[in-house]
Amino acid sequence: MEWSLERMREWVAGGMQSVRECEGGALGTALCLALLFIWYCYRVGCEHSVPSLRGGYTPEGRGGGALPASVLTADLSNRLASSKLRQVGGVGGVGGGATEEELNGFAYCQSPECFRCSRPGEGLNQRLYHSLQEYAKRYTWAGMGRVHKGVRDQGRYLLCNRPSIQKPEVFFLPDLPSAPFFSREAQKHDVELLERSFPALLVEFESVYRLPPSRTGSSLPPGWKANSTPRGQWWTFYLVNQGTPMALNARRCPRAWRVLGQLRTFIANNVFGNACFSVLSPGATISEHYGPTNVRLRCHLGLKVPSNCELVVGGEPQCWSEGSCLLFDDSFLHTAFHDGSPEDGPRVVFMVDLWHPNVAAAERQALDYIFTPGR
């Protein structure tokens, strides 16, 4: 083939004529491709962005690391500043958004929406499944196999009408390793941090325990709550109750609040998370009961431990020790008692709820969403 200027002109002229003939179709195709690309970018962004639920905990998974302690402390402080005092539910309670009625210095949960106070049933199962579907639609189904299985089969896992040594009252996550007590190595960082904070926590306990009663006729200082026991007295002073910061109480205990912000596995953003000082008077017994879920480990740091005090979980007895932590799964049947004399004084522990070490980051994120306080 001979190349010439005349032939090149013919080719250029033919190409321009072809473009003019199909200009409308080409522009339409280009516009459709651009719209498809924009839609694809939007979907990818929705599925892979990591949400920060309640402005707090962001999980370690999906390319991220655990939040630095300084960030978590600042977040807890922001939540504290905006929260109202809501003393609701009992120790290990899991209800959010409960209204309150204060009688003789004590607050009692009155809300039918409280997870802990309402009987788990078909209505709760439907709410959980709806929340899980909503979460997956907004974020992802990735890593949700056990959570989906737990929500789907709640009636079978809760074993409502069968005696069992382990029977969480609200939510059971299947295929988690379970035992009444766990080694301190299960949450080594947080256990060691709490034990190093023992002197500061003891001082703050003394400061809030020795305050005068809140008003005439009340036997407890402000912020304390009386819990039902078959004998003796059991009092709690919450910093976080069912995932909700207790603003006035936390302001009285700034060092304890700072410790909570430094914990890596504290359940700060859902109704299974609690932190409090717990006092058991001499002669007191806490009735046998189950906790709400197996996704957490309850940690007790002994602050004052007289002799003849014992914690029994799943039939296994353990004794507290001052300055040391006990880790246990409170979804097992458990009780506690103080058989000492009045001269021995009360048994005092600092109690916090930590994530079970085998709950994955993606599962924690989903559970924070499903069990957000007030949902």
Q: What is the pLDDT at residue 212?
A: 66
Does 225 fall in a domain? yes
Least confident of 83-97, 177-191, 239-253: 83-97
pLDDT-derived band at 32, boundaries 50, 70, 90: confident
Q: Please, which pLDDT band fits residue 98 given cuts at 50, 70 and 90?
A: very low
The DSSP line for 192-226 is: HHHHHTHHHHHHHHHHHHTSPPSSTT--S-TTEEE
Q: pLDDT tens for residues 284-309?
A: 999 999 999 999 999 999 999 999 99
Residue 249 maps to a domain: yes
Q: Is residue 62 part of a domain?
A: no
Residue 202 belongs to domain with CATH number:
2.60.120.330
Residue 175: inside a domain: no
68 within domain boundaries: no
Concatenated DSSP letters of 27-91: HHHHHHHHHHHHHHHHHHHHHH----GGG----S-TT--PPPHHHHHHHHHHHHHH------S-T
Q: Identify which of 51-60, 67-76, 169-178, 276-285 has the greatest average pLDDT.
A: 276-285
Per the rule left: phi > 0, alpha: psi between -120 and 50, beta: everything else, 232 is left
Residue 105 has pLDDT above 70, yes or no: no
Percentage of the residues of the chain whose pLDDT score is greater than 70 = 66
Residue 311, domain extent: 181-211+220-360
**What is the separation of C-alpha 315 from the centre of its chain, rounded to a whole number of angstroms?**
27
- pLDDT tens for each residue of 309-356: 999 999 999 999 999 999 999 999 999 999 999 999 999 999 999 999
The answer to which of 7-21, 111-125, 308-322 has the lowest mean pLDDT is 111-125
Q: What is the pTM of this model?
A: 0.71
Q: Is residue 195 part of a domain?
A: yes
CA distance 249 to 133: 36
> Of all residues in the chain, what percent carry a pLDDT higher than 90?
53
Please count the structural domains in the chain.
1
Both structure tokens of 224: 């304390």
Residue that has been written with the tokens 């003796």 in this structure: 232
Q: Is residue 233 included in any domain, yes or no? A: yes
Top mean-pLDDT range of 34-38, 162-166, 370-374: 370-374
Q: In this structure, is residue 57 part of a structural domain?
A: no
pLDDT higher than threshold 90 for residue 155:
no
Task: Give 275's pLDDT tier (boundaries 50, 70, 90).
Answer: very high
End-to-end CA distance of the chain: 77
Mean pLDDT of the chain: 78
Q: How confident is the model at residue 54 (pLDDT cuts 50, 70, 90)?
A: very low
Q: What's the confidence (pLDDT) of residue 15?
A: 59
Report, as an integer, the average pLDDT of 357-363. 96
8 — pLDDT class (breaks 50, 70, 90):
low
Choose the weakest-confidence range: 142-156, 238-252, 271-285.
Answer: 142-156
Q: HSE-up of 143 (CA within 13 Å, CB side)?
A: 16
